[in-house]
Chain A
Amino acid sequence: MNIKSIAGLLVVSTLVLGGVLYYSKDPAIVGSDESVQSYVLSNGMKILVVENHRAPVIVSQVWYKVGASYEHDGITGVSHVLEHMMFKGTDKHPSGEFSEIIAANGGEENAFTGQDYTAYFQKIANDRLELCLEMEADRMRNLTLEEKEFLKEIEVVKEERRLRTDDKPSALTYERFNAVAYTNSPYRRPIIGWMEDLDTLTIEDARQWYKTWYAPNNATLVVAGDVQAEEVFRLAKQYFGQLPASVIPQLKTRHEAKQYGTQRLTVSVPAKIPYLIMGYKAPVLKRTDRDNPFKASDDEWEMYALEVLAGVLDGGNSARLSNNLVRGQQIANSAGASYGMTARHETLFVLSAVPSDGVAIEVLEFALREEVNMIKTQLPDDKELDRVKAQVVAAQVYQQDSTFYQAMEIGMLDTIGLPWQIKDEYVEKILAVTAEQIQQVAIKYLIDERLTVAVLDPLPIENSVSKKSSSASVGVSTGASTGASTGASTGDSRGH
């Protein structure tokens, strides 16, 4: 099936690099030079370049430090709606023209919104970078934001919400799980926004959001591929250099309120398959020393240990959840663990599973808790750890096959406030994790006082099997082609 996600949305934003999707230190293991070169324009905009000369193409991404976690109740989804509106034109390039020019030049383009970022990208032949930068600079400051366009686009976004969340029982469950797991963290709100908020969102909200956050000193340009860094810096200066900086609001530091005991919720919607999500509040990488952003906190090893722990549980088909629950006891149809240590705020270490047919959800929950207990009481063996680590080491090599990923990795780190250089320490720090450390973080974080359990409890799907069939013309109203409207019935609903 063709999947066309226009103006896409990264719903799993905080988990992008989590779980088994380890990200890479990408040292020049082989010939190609992939070190990052950086430059800051006088207006505060940051430029990062990864040279990679394998193919004559580039990826250009503009990252903004704004996303769903910057929003407040009542305007949820505004970051994502604005992302859609960014394709609706400026005085210089009216609605749709950005896309047409990129397409006519053989490029692909899109955008995505996460909890902590909004980003716009093009993939294109390496001699077309200037085109991208000219238009990105233009829409950074000169977006038209017409109400007429907004009124149509908000309907598109609502359709997107229906498609991705409302009509997908497991996605809906995940959304409500987040809303309960976090008490006051902004991560409790869905990236796409509550439908009730989309209903009342106005063009003024989008304008305000644009005015507040879209400025060169709140953005990072990342270019990866077959380019010379000096040339990128020159073009960036030419197009973004004259844009005025803004005063960007400093958001207050947020801390998730203490949780008292396990939280539970049930989502009952028409569905066929139950689904279980268990999430434990877990810390993320932080940089607290303002004078030295490279200085790691003393407890940094915990986050790396949590990543390896996720690998022990779900790092491949040989990991514990597959081995014990899917194959061994056969109580799960599928089971997974995920954790991502790169996010602005405290996050969740998540276990999720679909029970085998006929297995009660309580049995599944008990089995997942047993897996957690096992980590707490018995040290994982060396072979298990070695397997997890081997996969991390290999993944850093495989990731060099994707220029897009290379750009995405540093763009995301920079945008959430971590030095992109930490990607170069990743493998080393993962390799340093010990079995004892894994046990320690399990004992510290995978506890009932940090746990939220969500259950999808299917309601019957009424009427879903009453199929009707009839012959009809495809030419509904043009009359240009009349079909077999009088043809014989192929179904059984015409009676008489």
Chain B
Amino acid sequence: MVINKIIKLIGSIALLNFSVAVYATPQIQTWQTDNGAKVFFVPAQEIPMLDVRIVFDAGGARDDGLSGLAVLTNGLLSEGAAGKTAQQIAEDFESVGAQIEYDALRDMAVVGVRTLTESRYMTSAIESLAQVLTQPDFPVDAYQRELKRMKLSVKARQQSPAALAGEAFNKAIYGDHPYASPTSGTKQSLENMSLDAVRAFYKKYYVANNATIAIVGNVERKQAEEIAKALVTALPSGEKALPLPEVKQLTEAKTITIDFPSSQTHIFVGQPGTKRGDEDYYSLYVANHPFGGSGFTSRLVDVIREERGLAYSVYSYFSPLRELGPFAMGMQTKTEQTQQALTLLKEELLKYVEHGPEKEELAASLSNITGSFPLNIDSNGKLLEYIAMIGFYDLPIDHLDHFIENVRAVDVDKINDALKRRLHPDKMVTVVVGKQG
């Protein structure tokens, strides 16, 4: 078992506090553009490159019954803008070695670019990005093509037991909440899609008051200000998106089984979990770590994989969102072992919610989380990710500075209290996708 061995490690754990304490977190500079976009900036001079990401509160949560709308709108931005075709736009970025990124997640819609900072390249990349962001044309042929491709992706999900399980899980834990439906759409929602809906969605949500800009790279503050301005000046101020409805707690346990001809059964067990800025966030995050969040050293891996060889991948996570994101335990195992594995998974959960972590387990987890913190921010790409998240979710600007002390403040009592209040094993959703006996 994990626990008896960890005691031997305490010597090396004690060393940790020192090296973490001397590591300075990056200072985030922040301001607002004239039309209302929030900007978050960290200068990083080491490499002649720049990452910019604009995040809108325009993810799938805003689909409003037309699942797939956020993804489609976001994807169409670079398919025609300022009178240029998709091909011209792609050429503009790629001829200067710039990499455009775009994605619509559950909460966020993201548009960004990675570029060299040599001015002839950077100026061009920022200009192209501004066009995509502020002057999309939504050409009808591109709309039809991308809609068709999304319909095919719905079909593709039907050949993936993992995708089917994830979809059924969200639907079951979220009921009528906007988080319930797949961000990439359903057969039905895509049938109901319209270009007018896309245009209206863009007009409503891609506005400055609904935008967060994150900038990391080899530019001065003044340049960063100009870049932010160049990107969003042409956007109307508009309105910040309204608060999302609260996620309702589940009232009873529910099992969903889907018959599928795969050699493995895919299993999810869970419920609505935690949100950004949640008062129990640190307690639950730390609680999950030794249970199913730390890979090789977690209880679930120990019991399911190491002791019994039942699965390659077994884990649990809290995925915090604007409103309650999912808490999920997941694994895959060959059909015949389904019941055994599911029983073990649920037993472990009950045990953990009842008794919490051992002291030594918690010590090892705290040590890992705090000690690995420098790894989380050791590249421009990772920093960008963090500051965009901090800005988007209105977390305190010193979130990173206090991360370690907030984690250290968690103890066994806080974990047990939070687990008992927040996890309800008798009201969880269980999804089982595979060959049904």
- B258-A467 in contact (CB<8A): yes
Asked whether any CB of chain A lies closer than 8 Å to the CB of B197, the reply is: no
Enumerate chain A residues within 8 angstroms of B309, measured Cβ to Cβ: 151-156, 159
Does residue A414 face the partner (Cβ distance < 8 Å to B)?
no
Task: Give min CB distance, B214 to chain A, whole Å.
Answer: 15
Q: Are B377 and A55 in contact (CB under 8 A)?
A: yes
B159 x A357 contact (CB < 8 A): no
Point out the residues of chain A lying under 8 angstroms from B263, CB to CB: 162, 166-167
Shortest CB distance B36–A (Å)? 31
Interface residues of B in 401-429 (CB under 8 A from A): 425-428
Chain B nearest CB, measured from A318 CB (Å): 4
Q: Which residues of A contact B314 (CB under 8 A)?
A: 4
- A390-412, CB under 8 A of B: which get 1 and which 0? 11011101101111000000000
Contact of A105 among B6, B12, B330 (CB under 8 A): B12
Q: Which interface class (under 10, 10 to 19, 20 to 34, 35 or more) fits B?
A: 35 or more
The residues of A that contact B319 with a CB separation of less than 8 Å are 2
Q: Mark A92-110, 1 if CB is under 8 A from B, else 0.
A: 0011110111011111100
**Bound state CA distance, A459 and B388, in angstroms?**
44
Contact of B255 among A166, A387, A472 (CB under 8 A): A472
A343 nearest CB across to chain B (Å):
26
Residue in A158, A317, A464 whose beta carbon sits within 8 Å of that of B94 in the complex: A317
Q: Give the segment of B66-74, B220-228, B299-307, B389-397 that binds chain A.
A: B299-307
The reply to whether A108 and B375 contact each other, CB–CB distance below 8 Å, is yes
Find out whether the CB atom of A390 lies under 8 angstroms from the CB atom of B152.
no
A270 B97 Cβ-Cβ under 8 A: no
Residues of A within 8 A of B349 (CB): 474
B255→A470 contact, CB < 8 A: yes
Least CB distance from B84 to A in Å reads 12
Shortest distance from the beta carbon of B303 to any chain A beta carbon, whole Å: 12
Quick check: is B373 within 8 A (CB to CB) of the other chain? yes
Instruction: Knowing A57-B378, A108-B372, A162-B264, say if A356 contacts B148 (CB, 8 Å).
Output: yes
Given contacts A163-B332, A474-B426, contact A464 B260 (CB under 8 A): yes
Pick the contact of B350: A151, A481, A487 (CB < 8 A): A481
In the complex, are the beta carbons of A6 and B379 less than 8 A apart? Answer: no
The answer to whether B367 touches A387, judged by C-beta atoms less than 8 angstroms apart, is no
* Assembled-state Cα–Cα distance A6/B298 (Å): 12
Residues of A within 8 A of B428 (CB): 474
B434 to chain A, nearest CB (A): 9
In-complex Cβ contact of A463 among B259, B306, B315 (8 A): B259
Tell me, in angstroms, the Cα distance from A481 to B312 when the chains sit together.
Answer: 28
Identify the closest chain A residue to B381 (Cβ).
A401
A168 at the interface (CB under 8 A from B): yes
A25-33, A61-69, A415-423: which lies at the interface: A25-33
Any chain A CB within 8 A of the CB of B196?
Answer: no
Q: 19 additional contacts, CB 8 Å, given A163-B264, A163-B312, A387-B91?
A: A1-B166, A2-B319, A4-B313, A96-B306, A99-B297, A103-B296, A104-B367, A159-B311, A159-B312, A167-B263, A272-B159, A316-B90, A390-B97, A394-B96, A403-B379, A472-B253, A473-B426, A480-B354, A490-B254
The 9 A-B residue pairs with the shortest CB-CB distance in the complex, in nearest-first order = A106-B371, A394-B97, A155-B309, A318-B90, A152-B309, A55-B378, A160-B312, A99-B296, A317-B90
List residues of A whose CB falls within 8 A of some B CB.
Answer: 1-2, 4-6, 29-32, 54-57, 87, 94-97, 99-101, 103-108, 123-125, 127, 131, 151-160, 162-163, 166-169, 270-273, 315-318, 322-323, 327, 330, 333, 354, 356-357, 383, 386-387, 390-391, 393-395, 397-398, 400-403, 458, 461-478, 480-484, 487, 490
